[in-house]
Structure 1
Amino acid sequence: MPNTCSNYDKKCGGCPLLTTPYREQLAQKQARLQTLLGGFAPVRAVLGMKEPFHYRNKAIASFATQRGRLVCGLYAEGTHRVLPGADCLLQEEILNRTLAAVVDAARACRWTAYDEDRGTGLLRHTVLRASVDGKVLVTLVTPGPELPGSKNFCAVLRKKAPWVVSIVQNINPTQSSAVLGNREKTLYGPGFVLDTLCGLQFAISSRSFYQVNRTQTEVLYKKALELARLTGRETVIDAYCGIGTIGLCAAPHAGQVIGVERNPAAVKDAAANARRNKITNARFVCADATEWMMAAAGENLRPDVVFLDPPRAGSTPECIAAVNKMRPKRIVYVSCDPETLARDIAAFTRLGWHPAKFCPIDLFPQTKHVETVCLLVL
């Protein structure tokens, strides 16, 4: 497998462990987890990948003008300096080919890169999402709704990259670090790409939260379901559910599933994904997870299993207190940050919960990140 990248020495920052042998990467992650979590419960060996390259099904790249020419690539770490390139070792190869085609099509339309300082130009970023069967959703991020020649762009891109099934314009006029804005226009296709995960189909749009490593996500979800020990009768809560992936994977093995997510677009996608997979025992609530869990605990909702899959910042003390009040038989905590996991596990132990085991899965080879599943019981 390749282990050199033209942008690595230019401080791309996307894969800081690229020059570290993969076995050593896993050992480093194991040691970090053992330090943070080993005092609570046994930490299983990190489950790594057979092929730890080209695993990302999502790419985000930024446009710039360099030497009078439109380019696109990742920012150099800590800067807004674009490193042109479409040969990333982490992204699926279909995404690298798509990125090259997007740049060619944009040049054919004579589109210009957005200049933050002057407030001129058309293109800010592109976001690419790929399915397991090699279909791609292309999103173009622009500062305003104007995109002259968009039909021509779609025609040129489809000719260069016939695997592109949808093209979306996302409008982001803000001067924040957020890539995507809240307004979108579908320029071609359905506005999403269909992916298959754990035997279920999920519609992935530009703003959907969806794990970037499909292969390892299946390992992760199977481990989470194994720890949940569902028999087909349980009431399950999927907190921070996103587009419903964990909850819908659990639904065929549960009595009922309630997913909670504060992003309205994600909740809409989750409900559509339930219908797409003919799952009738799952419902999704648009609410802040902490607020909803507190209200539900106050109404004496007593689920059998709670899945917690919070963002990197972890859960909240109020949410943890609400879960404790619900007294489920099992809590399955899915974490993408060992530090916040250690903090939250400590909070649960103070309430009488016991972490039975930690099961780490390497979803992010070549980086310092690691995903961990923890089973908590009373």
Structure 2
Amino acid sequence: MQKQYNKKQTELNMKVGQRFPLTIKRLGIDGEGVGYFKRQVVFVRGALPGEEIVCEVTKVHRKFAEGKIRKIRKPSDQRTEAPCVYYDRCGGCQLQHLTYEGQLQEKKDIVRQAFERYTKINLDKLSFGDTVGMEDPWRYRNKSQMQVGNADDSLITGLFQTESHHLIDIEKCIVQHPKTDEVTRTVKKILEELNIPAYNERKRKGIVRTIVTRVGFETGEVQLVLVTATRDLPKADLIVQRVNQRLPFIKSIVQNVNSRKTSVIFGDETRVLDGKEKIRETLGELNFNLSAQAFFQLNPIQTRKLYDLAKEAARLTGQEKVADAYCGVGTIGLWLADGAKELRGVDVTQASIDDARINAEQLGFDHAEFETGKAEDVLPRWAKEGWKPDVLVVDPPRSGLDESLLNTIGRVKPKRLVYVSCNPSTLAKNTNELVQSGYKLDSLQPVDMFPQTAQVECVARFVLQK
């Protein structure tokens, strides 16, 4: 949890088990309710803004406390019953107890809070839209990553309980595409039948760590990835044979080897066990090839809206040179390509660049080039060679833009910057640095890419001041 608190506070006058009435003022960035007891910050999972609760302290930190709801004295009119049977244990969703209308409102407020906390920008004086939501905010995720473990001498697959290493066996996840559930259940049964053991992280023994399934919403193509701790996968041929018999819609069966002691899902080695190396997905009129580790947005329905907003923010006339600094398989850049004079993309992952080049070629975009490397290294070199972007598109990880890339942007100075953010806090912090480099925040549009969770994406447009 990202906690905010008064820096002057040095000690909390609270104890674990202490109970007191608490009014919830807002949602925190991780979806927890935020209240103040004797001017001290308390974070309560499951509490909603406007609610009056009895809180019990569960953890006391140096400058904030965490608590749980003992009683709701005055519930929010936006409170609803969470439909998922795992919701009170699973850490995948945080807001199923909040109506979808309420989620959209609170996500805009989370963005506003971030900018109020980290910047002096008045969002009311620029274009700041309401959160763009979904008509049906369920079954939207095209990729599942279910951990494999043991319980009572049986295999289980699921997600870890919040803030623990306890694996919850999940038969059905109602934010996942139904085929991912079907694949996970069937593959788990096949592994049990063939006595293929789950990997035990503590004992460093066993084989299968994770079952990863990706579904092409539009194409219907499905890829199965078995992440294993060892290169040797016992009875691999039998596994493939039974998967093909029971799940004939799977087009690609892949093994990824991850022998490291890490929470990162994928290792460095990937090999195809059967079928194609990549599956296809369609966004609008564009087709994309996706290898096992290629980044692709998890909500294809909202992705089209997100990319349309990015294209609108870019304000292309057909004469601009466009650079995509975190291009992945080329999705955002290629979405903008028909409005650009030239397109260049850069990404650190070679497999993604390979896919991007193939995607551009198949789409007929001969004015698009992609290169492997760090944007902060490649952009200055392009500039030295005489190629400077008029429009720069960035879609960084939750950590935001690092200092070296921010410095590079300040030197290269594209006329417009389109920032696609998955973390309002780092976007707000980066906004301060971009303003110091001569940019003005012109518009800000929240997008709900992950309904039922506390995450919110934003498309921000920055304009270089003359």
Q: Which residue, out of 370, 377, 382, partners 1:284?
A: 370
Within 5 Å, give how 1:75-94 maps onto structure 2. Answer: 75-94=160-179
Counterpart of 2:199 (choices 102, 111, 114) is 114
Say which of 142, 145, 151 aligns to 1:57.
142
Q: Is the 8 A contact 1:243 1:267 kept in 2?
A: yes
Work out which of the two has the higher radius of gyration on C-alpha atoms and give 1 or 2.
2
The reply on whether 1:338 has 2:338 as its aligned counterpart is no
| Mapped partners of 1:14, 1:115: distance in 2 | 22
User: Which residue does the alignment assign to 1:7?
Assistant: 86
Other-structure match for 1:70: 155
List aligned pairs for 1:330-369, cutoff 5 A: 330-369=416-455
Moved more, 123-132 or 38-47: 38-47
Higher strand share: 2
CA apart distance, 1:299: 4.8
The alignment partner of 2:366 has SS state of coil
- State the 1:351 CA deviation: 1.9
Say if 2:251 is the partner of 1:165. yes
Task: Tell me which moved more, 216-225 or 76-85.
Answer: 76-85
1:141-156 to structure 2, matched below 5 A, reads 141-156=227-242
Matches within 5 A, 1:33-44: 33-37=111-115, 39=122, 41-44=126-129
- CA shift, 1:318, in A, is 2.7
- Alignment counterpart, residue 213 of structure 1, candidates 294, 299, 323: 299
Cα distance change on mapping 1:165 and 1:2 into 2, 3 Å: farther
Using the TM superposition, give the Cα deviation of residue 300 of structure 1 relative to its aligned residue in structure 2, in angstroms. Answer: 5.0
Query: Higher helix proportion, which one?
Result: 1
Give the superposition deviation at 1:303: 1.5
Superposition pairs for residues 262-301 of structure 1, below 5 Å? 262-299=348-385, 301=387
Distance 1:185 1:321, change over 3 A: same
Q: Shift in Å at residue 272 of structure 1? A: 1.4
Cα distance in 2 between the residues matched to 1:45 and 1:296: 37
Q: Deviations over 1:1-20 (max 9, x none)?
A: 994222212x2110011111
Find the counterpart in structure 2 of residue 16 from structure 1: 94
Indicate the percent of aligned positions where both proteins have the same amino acid: 34
The answer as to whether partners of 2:81 and 2:96 remain within 8 angstroms in 1 is no
Which of 401, 410, 414 is 1:324 aligned to?
410
**Residue type matched to 2:409 in 1?**
V
- Counterpart of 1:97 (choices 154, 157, 182) is 182
Once structures 1 and 2 are overlaid, which stretch shifts more, 291-300 or 66-75?
291-300
With normalisation by structure 2, the TM-score equals 0.78
Helix, strand or coil at the partner of 2:208: coil
SS at 1:273's partner residue?
helix
**1:209-262, CA deviations, whole angstroms, 9 ceiling, x for partnerless residues?**
111000111000011111112122211100011111111111122111010111
Aligned-partner Cα distance in 1 for 2:278–2:161: 29
Q: Which amino acid aligns with 2:198?
A: A
RMSD of aligned residue pairs (Cα, Å): 1.7
User: Match of 1:8, SS?
Assistant: coil
Moved more, 234-243 or 299-308: 299-308
1:115-140 per-residue CA deviation (whole Å, 9 max, x = no partner) reads 12222221111111110233210000
1:200 corresponds to 2:279: no
- For each residue in 1:343-374, what CA deviation from the matched residue of structure 2 results, as whole angstroms up to 9, or x when unmatched? 11111111221111101110011111111001
**TM-score with structure 1 setting the length:** 0.96
Q: Which amino acid aligns with 1:216?
A: Q
For residues 157 and 308 of structure 2, the distance between their equivalents in structure 1, rounded to whole angstroms, comes to: 37
Match of 2:33 in 1: none
Q: Structure 1 residues 126-135 or 169-178, which shifts more? A: 126-135
Task: Tell me how far 1:179 sits from its aligned partner.
Answer: 0.9
CA contact (8 A) 1:317 1:347 kept: no
> After superposition, what is the alpha-carbon deviation per residue over 1:70-89, rounded to whole angstroms, capped at 9, x for unaligned?
11111112222221123101
The alignment status of 1:30 with 2:108, answered yes or no, reads: yes
Across the two proteins, how many residue pairs are aligned to each other? 377
**Matches of 1:23 and 1:179, distance apart in 2:** 33
User: Whole-Å Cα distance in 1 between the matches of residues 383 and 408 of structure 2?
Assistant: 6
Checking the alignment, whether the CA contact within 8 Å between 1:301 and 1:326 is kept in structure 2 is: no
Q: Is the 8 A contact 1:131 1:194 kept in 2?
A: yes
Structure 1 portions without partners, runs of 5+ = none
Aligned equivalent of 1:245, options 323, 331, 337: 331
In 1, Cα distance between equivalents of 2:361 and 2:192: 40
CA contact (8 A) 2:191 2:239 kept: yes
Code of the aligned partner of 1:112: P
Deviation string 1:3-58 (CA, Å, 9 cap, x unpaired) is 4222212x211001111111111111111112223625342110011111111001
Question: What's the CA shift for 1:108?
Answer: 2.2
Contact 1:36 1:339 in 2 (8 A): yes
> Tell me, what secondary structure is at the counterpart of 2:282?
strand
Distance 2:207 2:411 in 1: 52
Q: Report the Cα distance in structure 1 between the residues aligned to 2:311 and 2:214, rounded to whole angstroms.
A: 26
DSSP 3-state at the match of 2:93: coil
The separation in 1 between residues aligned to 2:314 and 2:289, in whole angstroms, is: 25
Q: Any conservation in 2 of the 1:234–1:255 contact (CA below 8 Å)?
A: yes
Instruction: Could you tell me which runs of 5 or more consecutive residues in structure 2 were left unpaired when the two chains were aligned.
Output: 1-79, 116-120
